[in-house]
Amino acid sequence: MSLNAFLSVLRAPRALLVALLVALAPWGALAQGLLSGTPAQTVVQSDQARAELLAHAPQGATPGQPVWVGLQITHAPEWHTYWKNSGDSGLPTELQWTLPPGVSAGPIAWPTPRKFPIGNLANYGYDGTVVLPVPLTVAPDFKGSHIDIKLYAAWLVCRKECIPEEGHFSLRLPVQGSTGLNGAAFDASFQAAPKDQPAGESRVAPEADALNVVLTGLPARWRGQPLEFFPEAPGLIEPGQPWTQAWDGERWTARVPLSPHRAESPAHMALVVAQASPPGQGPGSPGVRLEVPVQGTWPAAAPLPVAVPAALQAALDANAARASAAAPVSSAPPLTLVAALLGALLGGLILNLMPCVFPVLAIKVMAFAQHAQDRRAHRANGLAYTAGVVLSFVALGALLLGLRSAGEQLGWGFQLQSPAVVAVLATLFTLIGLNLAGLFEFGHVLPSRVASLQARHPTGDAFLTGVLATAIASPCTAPFMGASLGLAIALPAAQALAVFGALGLGMALPYLLASWVPAVARALPRPGAWMNTFRHLMAFPMFATVVWLLWVLGQQSGIDGAAALLMLLVVLALLVWALGLRGRGRTVIAGLSLAGLAWLGWAIGPNVIRLQDATPGQAVATAVEGVSWQPWSPQAQAELVAQGRPVFVDFTAAWCVTCQYNKRTTLADASVLGDMARKNVALLRADWTRRDPDVTAALASLGRNGVPVYAIYKNGQAPQVLTEVLRVEEVRAALAGL
């Protein structure tokens, strides 16, 4: 009996449905993770920074009253983020607001920055704790009782290395009633903001290689003290180069090195000046902002240099590529749409050979044998199965693209990063396996009219089998798939969905062709008693899949989550067996099973979908002394590459069967590990079992969107991306070229 027979329980009589819903009510929470992405929150924290969305409305969020929201960033020691002009490198923090009609957000009221010298370079930004406030304007005709505020923020946090970070935030601000708990944080930011001041007699005059600055009307308390100079437009000056300044009474003069590669030549120059090197952390000392006229003519700008300065490349730019428009770094040539479609088609074909798809083959083989002598039914089932696969791939691709456009950092196989999805699939495969093994028959549990739906609607059964095949195959990637999926994410929606459709067509193509080729049908054995034995045998791949899914769940929810689901599955198996009994035994055992399932669901069910706290990865020794796998992080990779060591990164996940196969074969081969030891290659393992934006960003930089991915990094060279199904010879050849 196949998937349609299982789903036919949804049409059972009302009494049976009520009983099942009561027992399975606690499992409803599992479905929350099916389509949901990372929920919006008020705090996002990493090892480098803590970001929190704050609000300040001391007189309520009513029209005409001051309403402020802002992102507060608390930096770890030695880390900093950037001002609107980041200086020689870096990126300013970006805030994108989603607000109800009648509410609009203004620009960031940037506090005065600090200067962070790095060799002969310098950046402008903030360390310690800083609030980036933004004013909200509430229209007079706004009628709501509250304001729902959503924010997507992206920031680059740097020390010697840089890490791009981002977060989704939300809060609800009541219209009536004050919200002043964060007043002190906003007041500190307002006090540190530069005060607008008329230009007066101030002016700047560009020369061939310098900018002469004359400012008047500055605060009297600054006289005689060194000041810092922050132009709002990037690229006008050389922030890290030495410059001179002096006081002449109340006039402050400076000669600042002019950038020969500037992109602008403004007629007025917006700038901030403040006291230099203020003590403490956070924003700089309160400054003043002026828009000063430019006297004279800007010298001609030199063309931008082709090469990036080595110091900047090593210290900062390696991890700032997230925001650049450069093409993905990869050793493979860029794909065209036609090549991507062809790669997806071939990848879908090869996907049938991946271990994760094997359990579904049992259902298809039985269906083929059942209709071997009925060519019309054979063709109809082939078309229905193909439609189920193709439409499911397109729907899954559309969901992935939609969530990514909403700001989620997701990749192929994202659904198995949710414990809820893993638990639902484990339950489904348990029921299918028990049915194949003969523990229960739907005809004994349901009325014959309902149980016979499969026989009366075989094409619907084939379509649902295609849906199931997609659900279990989607976490896998096969050769040719990786580059195609990586390109699809960057394509327009229609073209991207065409790539996903080609992938589904490739996976379904062998069955479609077989259903329309008479020679294949004649080669299949006739239906007979052997099918019952084969059916029982095929239960074991289903149970093996359940074991794998339980192991994946254990990586996400811990041993308690896996054990809780296993206990629930045992009681569920008892229930479906009891429903097939006759007489009083059915009533007693089924009733006790329902009660036990309900109690276990409320008592231990939450452990199934609760993600355990992430713990730092542990080093994993290999068979070769001195060679071990270390946990991956962007900074660990950058530091090793900067030291001159080649780095081999294994992008993997517990739910990726191909990953586990490669890990236990090619990556455990003694000759491969020996070559790595001789080449002094550092081994890093990037685990994507849970959703990890850093891993997602690293995959995207390689033009990939799923695992497995294997990449070799070496200083001064483009990363070399290997194939998804690793061979010993391929890895050794790549290592020999280092």
**Given this model, what pLDDT does residue 445 score?**
52
Phi, psi (rounded to 5 degrees) for 603: -80, -45
**Given this model, what pLDDT does residue 328 score?**
36
Residue 146 CB neighbour total at 10 angstroms: 13
| Three-state secondary structure string covering 442-501 | HHHHCCHHHHCHHHHCHHHHHHHHHHHHHHHHCCCCCCCHHHHHHHHHHCCHHHHHHHHH
Question: Regarding the domain with residue range 620-736, which homologous superfamily does it belong to in the CATH classification?
Answer: Glutaredoxin (3.40.30.10)
* 125 DSSP assignment: E
- Nearest CA to 62 out of 135, 134, 140 is that of 140
Q: Report which of residues 361 and 449 the model is more confident about.
A: 361
At residue 6 the predicted structure's pLDDT band, cuts being 50, 70 and 90, is: very low
Task: Average the pLDDT over each of 102-111, 185-194, 521-530 and give the range with the smallest value.
Answer: 521-530
- Decide if pLDDT at 331 tops 50: no
- Decide if pLDDT at 118 tops 50: yes
Greatest C-alpha distance within the chain = 106
Q: How far is CA 96 from the centre of its chain?
A: 18
Strands 146-158 and 94-98: antiparallel
- Decide if pLDDT at 655 tops 70: no
Whether the ω angle into residue 708 lies within 30 degrees of 0, i.e. cis, is yes
At residue 228 the predicted structure's pLDDT band, cuts being 50, 70 and 90, is: very high
Share of the chain above pLDDT 70, in %: 74
* 199 DSSP assignment: -
For residues 318 and 227, the answer to whether their CB atoms sit within 8 Å is no
Task: Average the pLDDT over each of 135-144, 333-342, 706-715 and give the range with the smallest value.
Answer: 333-342
For residues 216 and 198, the answer to whether their CB atoms sit within 8 Å is no
Q: Report which of residues 357 and 604 the model is more confident about.
A: 604
Compute the distance between CA of residue 495 and CA of residue 340 in angstroms, rounded to an integer. Answer: 10
**Given this model, what pLDDT does residue 671 score?**
92
Q: Report which of residues 129 and 479 the model is more confident about.
A: 129
At residue 738 the predicted structure's pLDDT band, cuts being 50, 70 and 90, is: confident
Amino acid letter, 259: S
**Given this model, what pLDDT does residue 333 score?**
42
pLDDT in tens, 252-282: 999 999 887 776 778 888 999 999 988 889 8
User: What is the residue whose two structure tokens read 């006291």?
Assistant: 275
- For 242-248, what is the mean pLDDT? 91
- Decide if pLDDT at 94 tops 60: yes
- For 347-364, what is the mean pLDDT? 66
For residues 724 and 658, the answer to whether their CB atoms sit within 8 Å is yes
User: What is the residue whose two structure tokens read 């059972």?
Assistant: 12
Task: Average the pLDDT over each of 61-70, 358-367, 567-576 and give the range with the smallest value.
Answer: 358-367
For residues 626 and 679, the answer to whether their CB atoms sit within 8 Å is no
Please tell me whether residue 19 adopts helix, strand or coil conformation. helix
Please tell me whether residue 627 adopts helix, strand or coil conformation. coil
Show the tokens assigned to 404: 């990514």
- For 152-174, what is the mean pLDDT? 86
pLDDT in tens, 632-652: 988 889 888 888 899 999 998
Same CATH topology for 203-293 and 620-736? no
- Decide if pLDDT at 434 tops 70: yes
- For 562-578, what is the mean pLDDT? 85
**Given this model, what pLDDT does residue 120 score?**
77
**Given this model, what pLDDT does residue 19 score?**
39
Q: 599: Cβ–Cβ under 8 A, 6 or more apart, which residues?
A: none
**Given this model, what pLDDT does residue 47 score?**
86
**Given this model, what pLDDT does residue 313 score?**
39
Alpha helices in 112-234 (DSSP H): 183-192
- For 192-219, what is the mean pLDDT? 91
- Decide if pLDDT at 711 tops 90: yes
Domain range annotation of the chain = 3-37+332-609, 43-193, 203-293, 620-736
- Nearest CA to 163 out of 43, 75, 295, 286 is that of 75
**Given this model, what pLDDT does residue 134 score?**
94
**Given this model, what pLDDT does residue 432 score?**
78
**Given this model, what pLDDT does residue 451 score?**
45
Compute the distance between CA of residue 534 and CA of residue 525 in angstroms, rounded to an integer. Answer: 12
On average, the pLDDT of the chain sits at 76
- For 191-209, what is the mean pLDDT? 90
For residues 630 and 684, the answer to whether their CB atoms sit within 8 Å is yes
At residue 613 the predicted structure's pLDDT band, cuts being 50, 70 and 90, is: low
Domain 203-293 has CATH 2.60.40: yes
**Given this model, what pLDDT does residue 584 score?**
81
User: What is the residue whose two structure tokens read 């080093």?
Assistant: 619
For residues 566 and 554, the answer to whether their CB atoms sit within 8 Å is no
At residue 65 the predicted structure's pLDDT band, cuts being 50, 70 and 90, is: confident
| Three-state secondary structure string covering 217-286 | CCCHHHCCCCEEEEECCCCCECCCCCCEEEEECCEEEEEEEECCCCCCCCCEEEEEEEECCCCCCCCCCC
- For 391-406, what is the mean pLDDT? 75
At residue 22 the predicted structure's pLDDT band, cuts being 50, 70 and 90, is: very low
For residues 692 and 707, the answer to whether their CB atoms sit within 8 Å is no
**Given this model, what pLDDT does residue 520 score?**
63
- For 47-72, what is the mean pLDDT? 87
Residue 221 CB neighbour total at 10 angstroms: 8
- Nearest CA to 472 out of 400, 421, 518 is that of 421
Compute the distance between CA of residue 721 and CA of residue 738 in angstroms, rounded to an integer. Answer: 14
Q: Which CATH architecture has domain 43-193?
A: Sandwich (2.60)
Task: Name, of 138-152, 300-314, 318-332, the range with top average pLDDT.
Answer: 138-152
- Nearest CA to 504 out of 656, 396, 402, 400 is that of 396
